[in-house]
Structure formats: C-alpha cells, structure tokens
C-alpha cells in the first residue's frame, strides 16, 4: 500500500474511531450540560507530561 506500518495503523485506528463516533449520532443535553460540554471542548487540553514523553519516543518499529 506504500505506507509505513505506523501510517497504516493510524489510518485504521482513525477510521474505526470515526465509525464508532458516527454510530452515536444523537446527544441529548439540557442547556446547562450543553454549556459545560461546550466549555470542555473549547478549553485547551491540560498538560500531560507522560503523554508528551510517550509521543516524543520513537516507535521501535518505525524506521
């Protein structure tokens, strides 16, 4: 397919995640819950040093 293993796995994982999310089409929230949900989506992500370190580590199978 002309892709690295990492690219292939990332694409497959994203496709599966999209399928799962698209199956959940309806979210019913009252106004207060929607405002809280919207605020969480708009807020910047919290710093996560362990995740940052993991993402900075080269995968053993990557060349």
Contact 59, 6 (CB under 8 A): yes
pTM above 0.85, yes or no: no
Query: Which pLDDT value is given to residue 63?
Result: 67
Which residue, among 52, 27, 25, has the nearest Cα to 40 in the 3D structure?
27
What is the spatial distance between Cα 38 and Cα 26, in angstroms, rounded to a whole number?
Answer: 15
Query: Which pLDDT value is given to residue 21?
Result: 85
Query: Which pLDDT value is given to residue 28?
Result: 86
Which residue, among 29, 47, 48, 49, has the nearest Cα to 39 in the 3D structure?
29
From first to last of its 63 residues, the chain has per-residue pLDDT tens of 788 999 999 999 999 999 888 887 777 899 999 999 999 999 999 999 999 999 999 988 876
């Amino acid at each position: 397919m002309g892709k690295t293993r990492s690219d292939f796995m990332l694409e497959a994982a994203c496709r599966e995640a999209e399928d799962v999310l698209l199956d959940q089409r309806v979210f019913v929230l009252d106004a207060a819950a929607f405002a809280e949900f919207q605020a969480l989506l708009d807020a910047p992500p919290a710093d996560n040093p362990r995740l940052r370190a993991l993402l900075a580590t080269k995968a053993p199978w990557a060349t």
